[in-house]
């Protein structure tokens, strides 16, 4: 007997959703209203993709998105601008990949099984749930591209703003702290990462990969998935390498209610400001440096100091 015939419509809907079938098609297949099916699958998706509740600290999400290109009518290969009336079809989200910092599971979703590939509502909604759960979001060039593109698709699909999160951009860390030959993910992961490196295109090179995905080529979609997944895995490894060099990152200890466990920290001299002297500490695991908030200078010494005129 077919187990699909004996299970509830909710269970059937969950099975079909995991196969990548659109919620609209699932509703039609099961003879249920689209809103009924969507409400159920939205709750299931949110439950299954939430970060671990066991690990203490901030909920850190690494993510990367891929978008479809604009299609437009051009008069020249060297045309500098495109008028709105020359656009044949607008861009939309093709896929996204993400993972929580405290989990090995990598999540990937795309439009390969969508009835209308330009209707990215369900895909965008899934990304919205991840970002809505995050305290901190990490990406490569994400402040200029991924986050703004995601926000554009959120508002165009009628979704509210996700819960506020802080952003860390590995490209910004690279520009702020180093003078690499290139700040691109491909270059930095090739030079610095030992486990994961940003993958190069295999069968479908450059724009061809996007073109073939838009044509429905499943082999191209498989390469897109592998490409997207490796972007996120190499991104996390790169972040772990660069993060201890950047003193502008959030203080993750604030996200833990308990008193700080100083066993992870070792004294590392003193940090001086124009008006103070503080104990300096270095994390034994990550190498991150912090200072105490207690000024070691006596009140008399502080009172005698002269401040710079700015």
Which ranges of 79-184 would DSSP assign to H, the alpha helix?
Answer: 121-133, 146-156, 170-177
Region 115-125: mean pLDDT is 94
16-20, 141-145, 258-262, 295-299: segment of lowest average pLDDT: 16-20
Residue appearing with tokens 């290109």: 69
> What are 99's two structure tokens?
């993972």
% of residues, the chain, pLDDT over 90: 69
Region 8-27: mean pLDDT is 79
Nearest Cα to Cα of residue 136 among 166, 158, 159: 166
Domain ranges of the chain: 49-70+87-245, 260-304
Residue 55 has pLDDT above 80, yes or no: no
**Residues 212/220, Cβ–Cβ less than 8 Å:** yes
- Distance, in Å, from the CA atom of 283 to the CA atom of 179, rounded to the nearest integer, reads 25
pLDDT of residue 17: 77
pLDDT of residue 21: 78
Please report which confidence band the pLDDT of residue 1 belongs to, taking 50, 70 and 90 as the band edges: very low
- Distance, in Å, from the CA atom of 198 to the CA atom of 186, rounded to the nearest integer, reads 5
Alpha-carbon distances of 89 from 117, 214, 221, 261, rounded to whole Å: 12, 13, 21, 55
Beta strands in 159-301 (DSSP E): 166-169, 265-273, 276-283, 289-291
Return the DSSP state at 253. G
Please report which confidence band the pLDDT of residue 23 belongs to, taking 50, 70 and 90 as the band edges: confident
pLDDT of residue 20: 66
More confident residue, 36 or 133: 133
Provide CB contacts within 8 A for 48, sequence distance 6+. Answer: none
Region 61-80: mean pLDDT is 92
Nearest Cα to Cα of residue 129 among 50, 58, 75, 195: 50
Task: Please provide the CATH number assigned to the domain covering 49-70+87-245.
Answer: 3.30.420.10
DSSP 3-state of 247: coil
pTM: 0.85
**Residues 252/58, Cβ–Cβ less than 8 Å:** yes
Please report which confidence band the pLDDT of residue 6 belongs to, taking 50, 70 and 90 as the band edges: low
Please report which confidence band the pLDDT of residue 38 belongs to, taking 50, 70 and 90 as the band edges: confident
Residue 4 has pLDDT above 60, yes or no: no
% of residues, the chain, pLDDT over 70: 95
Region 58-73: mean pLDDT is 95
pLDDT in tens, 242-291: 999 998 999 988 998 888 888 989 999 999 999 999 999 999 988 899 99
Provide CB contacts within 8 A for 285, sequence distance 6+. Answer: 264
pLDDT in tens, 193-226: 999 999 887 889 889 999 999 999 999 999 999 9
- Distance, in Å, from the CA atom of 161 to the CA atom of 255, rounded to the nearest integer, reads 22
74-83, 147-156, 177-186, 239-248: segment of lowest average pLDDT: 74-83
């Amino acid at each position: 007997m077919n187990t699909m015939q004996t299970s509830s419509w909710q269970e059937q809907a969950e099975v079909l959703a995991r196969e990548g079938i659109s919620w609209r098609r699932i509703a039609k297949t099961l003879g249920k209203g689209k809103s009924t099916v969507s409400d159920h699958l939205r709750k299931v998706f949110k439950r299954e993709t939430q970060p671990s509740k066991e690990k203490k600290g901030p909920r850190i999400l690494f993510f990367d998105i891929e978008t479809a290109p604009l299609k437009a009518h051009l008069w020249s290969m060297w045309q500098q601008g495109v008028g709105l009336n020359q656009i044949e079809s607008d861009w939309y989200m093709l896929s996204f990949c993400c993972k929580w910092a405290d989990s090995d599971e990598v999540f990937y979703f795309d439009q390969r099984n969508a009835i209308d590939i330009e209707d990215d509502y369900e895909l965008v909604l899934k990304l919205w749930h991840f970002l809505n759960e995050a305290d901190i979001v990490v990406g490569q060039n994400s402040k200029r591209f991924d986050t703004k593109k995601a926000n554009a698709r959120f508002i165009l699909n009628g979704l509210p703003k996700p819960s506020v999160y802080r952003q860390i951009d590995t490209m910004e860390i690279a520009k702020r702290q180093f003078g690499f030959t290139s700040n691109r993910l491909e270059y930095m992961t090739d030079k610095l990462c030992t486990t994961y490196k940003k993958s190069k295109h295999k069968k479908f090179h450059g724009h061809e990969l996007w073109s073939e995905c838009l044509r429905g080529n499943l082999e191209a979609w498989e390469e897109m998935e592998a490409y997207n997944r490796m972007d996120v895995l190499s991104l996390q490894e790169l972040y772990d390498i660069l993060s201890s060099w950047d003193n502008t990152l959030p203080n993750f200890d604030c996200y833990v209610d308990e008193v700080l466990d100083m066993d992870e920290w070792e004294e590392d001299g003193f940090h001086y400001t124009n008006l103070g002297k503080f104990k300096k500490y270095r994390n034994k695991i990550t190498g991150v440096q912090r200072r105490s908030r207690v000024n070691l200078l006596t009140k008399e010494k502080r009172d005698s100091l002269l401040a710079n005129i700015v």
